[in-house]
Amino acid sequence: MTEPWPDDDVILYDGVCIFCSRWIQFVAKRDTDHRFRFTPIQSDYGSRLARHFGIDPADPDTNAVIHGGVAYVRSDAALTVLSTLPGWQWVRVLFAMPKALRNPVYSLIATNRYRIFGKAEACIVPDAGMRARVIE
pLDDT at 132 over 90: no
pTM: 0.90
* Helix residue ranges, H only, 12-98: 18-30, 44-52, 74-84
pLDDT of residue 53: 87
- Contact of 12 with 46, CB cutoff 8 Å: yes
How would residue 1 be classed by pLDDT, with cut points 50, 70 and 90? very low
Of 40, 65, 59, 61, which Cα lies nearest the Cα of 126?
A: 40
- Contact of 16 with 123, CB cutoff 8 Å: yes
- Contact of 62 with 77, CB cutoff 8 Å: yes
Q: How far apart are CA 106 and CA 108, in angstroms?
A: 6
Q: Which pLDDT tens digit goes with each residue over 52-105?
A: 988 899 888 888 999 988 889 999 999 999 999 999 999 999 999 999 999 999
What are the residue ranges spanned by the domains of the chain?
Answer: 10-121
